[in-house]
Amino acid sequence: MKKFLNLKKNIFIFSSLLVLLFFLSIWLWHQFQKEERLYFCDDKTIICDLSEAPYHDPSLPVEERVEDLLSHMTLDEKIGQLALVERSEIKDKNDIATYGLGGLLSGAGSHPENNTALGWQEMTADYQTYTKKTRLQIPLLYGADAIHGNSNVPGATVFPHQIGLGAANDPDLVRRINEATAKELAATGIYWNYAPSLDVAKDLRWGRTYETFSSESDRVENLAAAAIIGLQGENSATPFVIATAKHYIGSGAMIWGTAVNEDYKIDQGEVRLTEEELRAEHLPPFKKAVEAGVWSVMAGLNNWQGLKLSANKYLLTDVLKEELGFQGFVVSDWYGVYEIPGNNYQNTITAINAGVDMVMLPFDYKKFIADLQQSTSNGRVPASRLDDAVRRILRAKFSLGLFDRPAPTANDLAIIGSEEHRALAREAVRKSLVLLKDRRQTLPLDKNLDTIIVAGSAADNSGRQCGGWTVEWQGIDGNWLPGASSILKGIKEAVSSETKVIFEETGNFDLDVKADVGIVIVGEKSYAEGVGDEAEPQLSPEDLATIEKVRKASNKLIVIIVSGRPLNIKLPARNWDTIIAAWLPGSEGQGVADVLFGGYPFVGTLPIEWEL
Ligand code: BGC
């Protein structure tokens, strides 16, 4: 009995020790965390531990949290919030904490070493850990160009580029696509999309024509709100992901030959419209965007009447913020602020005073911060302007839930490239096709034809189908995109098991009798931005030669054009029976066959003039 009591006593002592040890380790862990948190706060004149400050309380209204946080911020901490740095420029990640950076971005093609969805998720999470080392713990806004799906990530669903969606001209479709994009983006820890483009493309020679919905202001306006609501959600007060209406304003009207970048022809050029013309054609989509509650607007790299947009106080502050009542923040584009004529110090002052709230910095962020420190200390950038910019940025961060939102986990990655999203992308491909010509009523094709020959540089190339801004800035070539389907694959899947589909890329068929139908899929090689500025967009001689060979080898000829804009095919197209504009359909090439074989009708209409 005594022995038993002793045992009981020992168990009691042992378990008490265990409990004590447990609490001790929790306390130690907490201390360690605190140490970590205070790492970048050794200043005795400020409160280092703000973990109990009201702004951390998610139950408080956003405005209250913004004001509380602002009241604790030093000048340097405010300045840091205005810096949006390209990730590859960060050589020491501790700079995120040292400078209290407001945001990071992946410029096109700037991806983690492990370029997978998981790699992206881990990368964004890793960057956020550095903000935990600061006393304020303000999360970073991470931005990327998910302009046709989360297309930076191999394996994501790649939707048709906007020009195709402009052809479909279906706001509900645009909303659903943007909703899907937002989900795929958020799964990688990115809550800020540099989309949609609301440019109204007036010159198809521009390499960014395909990023736009249309050359018609009305059509762009009609789809603008749908895209924004899709990304942000119905209630703009609690956005799921922040949209960016870009490129404010007039970029679609730049004049050929005025590009400031000597490698380009029109991109980053001059807009010479009168104010009345600018307002009539180019402002309405942005007005719609503001009404829809868009959280950020990107100032274009163009000039208007000789003045760089990021220097234009009238357009950024008077028109956008005051007249239209834009409550979000203005972000400058790429190197835009430093392209204002003058030195960088002066440019920083000009841009911030003009109304730019966050400055995109592919390079030179330390210099930017030093310049802003100087110009706010000497009053050339007024304290009220700085506070206004910081307020706008913090408001977005709180509204997005960045302070409170749990980071995505590996389980959330299943949405990326999901069946449901791919089906939606396929629907978008179907709806974006435009039947330019069908002179012998070739369509719809019979699934039971004996022989179909298929050729062309874009027939079996899902990379090219996706166009620019897909994994790399200038896009990719070939069929290696995980989960993607080429147009050829769709054709093969659509026909009966008896039908022979013979593919030869360059059209060298050796047939005894002509094939019933020849399909040639040709078009533009991928390009992005000014690299795609092209004096005479047209098919290459090789593509034309392929078409000619297939014409001779088949009874009926169908030409499908994969391109970011109308191509000049006036002469060669005279003896083609059927021509289809497929734009840049993205990863789900089977959508083309869905319509070719009559499963669905052609519903797309030209979003931009195409002379035939
Ligand atoms: C483009 C923007 C883009 C930004 C960030 C710039 O070159 O003009 O549209 O959002 O890069 O990638």
Identify which has the larger pLDDT, 240 or 46.
240
Q: Which domains does the chain have, with CATH numbers?
A: 54-414 (3.20.20.300), 433-596 (3.40.50.1700)
The whole-number average pLDDT for the span 240-261 is 97
The whole-number average pLDDT for the span 285-302 is 98
The pLDDT assigned to 17 comes to: 72
The pLDDT assigned to 35 comes to: 42
611 is catalytic: no
Cα–Cα distance, 530 to 280 (Å, whole number): 26
Q: Write out pLDDT tens, residues 65-106.
A: 999 999 999 999 999 999 999 999 999 999 999 999 999 999
The answer, yes or no, to whether any atom of ligand 1 lies below 6 A from the CB of 267, is no
The pLDDT assigned to 6 comes to: 65
Cβ-in-10-Å burial (0-12, 13-18, 19+) of 591 comes to buried
Cα–Cα distance, 169 to 585 (Å, whole number): 15
H helix or E strand, kind and range, residue 578: strand 578-581
Cα–Cα distance, 607 to 578 (Å, whole number): 19
Residue nearest to atom 6 of ligand 1 (CA): 334
The pLDDT assigned to 220 comes to: 98
Do 78 and 373 touch, CB atoms closer than 8 A?
A: no
Cα(193) to centroid of ligand 1, in Å? 11
Identify which has the larger pLDDT, 35 or 419.
419
Contacts of 47 (CB under 8 A, 6+ apart): 72, 135
Instruction: Name the percent of the chain lying above pLDDT 70.
Output: 94
Nearest to 72, CA basis, from 387, 381, 287: 387
The pLDDT assigned to 421 comes to: 98
Q: Write out pLDDT tens, residues 345-355.
A: 999 999 999 99
Q: Using 50, 70 and 90 to split pLDDT, how confident is the model at 25?
A: low
The pLDDT assigned to 28 comes to: 56
Instruction: Name the percent of the chain lying above pLDDT 90.
Output: 91
The overall average pLDDT reported for the chain is: 95
Q: Write out pLDDT tens, residues 392-450.
A: 999 999 999 999 999 999 999 999 999 999 999 999 999 999 999 999 999 999 999 99
- Give yes or no for residue 8 having a pLDDT over 70: no
The whole-number average pLDDT for the span 575-591 is 98
The pLDDT assigned to 43 comes to: 72
The answer, yes or no, to whether any atom of ligand 1 lies below 6 A from the CB of 108, is yes
The pLDDT assigned to 36 comes to: 42
The answer, yes or no, to whether any atom of ligand 1 lies below 6 A from the CB of 469, is no
529 is catalytic: yes
The pLDDT assigned to 21 comes to: 72
Residue of 145, 242, 247, 310 best suited for mutating to test ligand 1, as the one with most atoms within 8 Å of CB:
145
